Structure 1
């Protein structure tokens, strides 16, 4: 019998739902506490690399993920400007193994729905409209207080509640995300037929212009610029103006950046809890609550689901719970998370500095070699 039997998970992102499914599979009583009133249908697309796909295969959802997404094995580099000249087409590294694609794009809401169904099928319960406002540890339990005035008690509480984690603050970990100086426009739009992989355009009015196919008819496009205070209502017009400098598929993308387009803007941020453990007593952090990075390497979701796989492994295989269980978890995860966070930030910093002599291939190989090794 596992050392803990009733587990609360705060947050229903990719990491939290992956952990819920794995622990429920092991026969544990799992409750997911989500502050949103219901399943999210928002967001643009998400890029998943092989190390995330490997965990989804182990979870038994790879066939559904593949069906709902768009897999590819190449990366294109194009010149900025109206001609969008293809400079190179590179074989992308299959970090999940040769039996999985290098990359898969899919709508965020589709991935969330697949993981939600998998967690519920395993026996996990998801409570929507349940915002955690405080917690208290007494002996071998954690008691959570919600905004509705409920009290819920668990053997272990997992904070998988994102960048601005309430759980992280409640246990006194002071690390917070900081802005890196870049911002990103994203738009979820129809897929031009010629878009069959991610292409990146470096230079022009944006640091990066890129896109990722997410399905037979969908894709998301993005433009990375100096961080600014942008307003959502003006998003389609501003993004369209920036996109005018780029050719190829951007002509059709730009035509779909109308007032009804799903366009959003966010700042690049980063943080890493590395000055101490990711837990206090029986409360532990996972995913963006513990570490976050700009999307320059597209490893954020993968790091969260890897966290879930490692934490589940540590919890399920022991019969006596003590501090060493959670210590092993964060010590296994910290070096890998640090590599990804630092590399993601470094790539952005090189662009901000205008560095043309930066060893980008070397940095990308470091990340690939790191995440190629199963957790």
Structure 2
């Protein structure tokens, strides 16, 4: 018998939906509280490494994900010159196993829609327009209060509500994301025929110029620079100007950076709750517990792994005990910390202009770690 009979989850993103699927499949009653009024249908691309794909296979949705995304198993390196000279094509480590591709790019709303449909099929209920205002733990259950006046009781509450988690604040964890000093322009555009994998260019006017195919006709391109105040409305002009130094596929990408393109600018941030992620019967996972720059593209995978490990422990245990929380911490904290620290370190090396940094060694170390199931 599972440790809980009904679970509340705050946040209908990848982590929350993954936990919901696994718990509902085990016969546990699940309700997701989502602050948005309707399912989110707008976004950009996402890069998913093999260990994330392994979780999708566990959920039984890998075929749907593969059909919507664009899979590849190599990484290209290009020179910051007008020709966009291809320097090398490297085989990527297949961190999800040899029977899965190393990487898959896809449109983030498509990924979320597949997870959402699977969660609803499993029996999870999603309640929209629910903003959490308070969390009260009486030792045997958790009551969640929302801005619309509802008070709902659960055996256990999972906060999967992102970077600025209301649940994290409500349970007294005083940790917030901080800037790493970098900012990123992202554009979701048409895919040129010769974009068949992620290619990265280091140097030029930006720290990194890169792109990732997300489907037969789509991709997202990104430019990483020093964090600064930027006018989003002027995004097409700014991004096209920065991209002018890069050749190869960037010539066609740049031509698509007009006002019809979906372009946004965000700052890289990081945080880590360096200790147990629970307070009583409330626990945070995913971006609520840890975040990092996408320099290793492991953020989504870490969130999915958090959800899968937590669900496994709750399903296998007879009751919620300190032993359960210790095992969850032991399996997740150091792994997430290694990804966060490595991702931040890569960015800091670029900010500091370190030329002899062991970037391949760091990436190989993280990839080798995540190749082992969580």
TM-score, length basis structure 1: 0.99
TM superposition shift of 1:327: 2.4
Unmatched 5+ stretches in structure 1: none
Secondary structure at the aligned position of 1:90 is classed as strand
TM superposition shift of 1:231: 2.0
Instruction: Give the corresponding residue for 2:136.
Output: 136
Instruction: Give the corresponding residue for 2:112.
Output: 112
Answer yes or no: is the 8 Å Cα contact 1:190–1:256 preserved in 2.
Answer: yes
Secondary structure at the aligned position of 2:319 is classed as coil
Structure 1's consecutive aligned runs of 4 or more residues displaced over 4 angstroms after TM superposition are: none
Matched, 1:22 2:22: yes
Instruction: Give the corresponding residue for 2:230.
Output: 230
TM superposition shift of 1:23: 0.2
Q: C-alpha separation between the residues in 2 aligned to 1:210 and 1:142?
A: 44
TM superposition shift of 1:134: 1.0
Q: C-alpha separation between the residues in 1 aligned to 2:42 and 2:264?
A: 11
Unmatched 5+ stretches in structure 2: none
Q: Deviations over 1:287-316 (max 9, x none)?
A: 011110000000000000000110001100
Answer yes or no: is the 8 Å Cα contact 1:284–1:326 preserved in 2.
Answer: no
Answer yes or no: is the 8 Å Cα contact 2:139–2:281 preserved in 1.
Answer: no
Instruction: Give the corresponding residue for 1:340.
Output: 339
Q: C-alpha separation between the residues in 2 aligned to 1:139 and 1:172?
A: 16
Instruction: Give the corresponding residue for 1:370.
Output: 369
Instruction: Give the corresponding residue for 2:310.
Output: 311
Q: C-alpha separation between the residues in 1 aligned to 2:349 and 2:228?
A: 19
TM superposition shift of 1:58: 1.0
Secondary structure at the aligned position of 1:164 is classed as coil
Instruction: Give the corresponding residue for 2:35.
Output: 35
Secondary structure at the aligned position of 2:237 is classed as helix
Q: C-alpha separation between the residues in 1 aligned to 2:90 and 2:138?
A: 55
Q: C-alpha separation between the residues in 2 aligned to 1:98 and 1:367?
A: 17
Aligned-CA RMSD value: 0.7
Equivalence map 1:5-84=2 (5 Å): 5-84=5-84
Secondary structure at the aligned position of 2:95 is classed as coil
TM-score, length basis structure 2: 0.99
Q: C-alpha separation between the residues in 1 aligned to 2:162 and 2:9?
A: 12
TM superposition shift of 1:139: 3.1
Equivalence map 1:195-344=2 (5 Å): 195-274=195-274, 276-344=275-343
Answer yes or no: is the 8 Å Cα contact 2:74–2:91 preserved in 1.
Answer: yes
Answer yes or no: is the 8 Å Cα contact 2:186–2:264 preserved in 1.
Answer: yes
Q: C-alpha separation between the residues in 2 aligned to 1:150 and 1:260?
A: 41
Secondary structure at the aligned position of 2:36 is classed as coil
Matched, 1:101 2:65: no
The alignment covers a number of residue pairs equal to 374
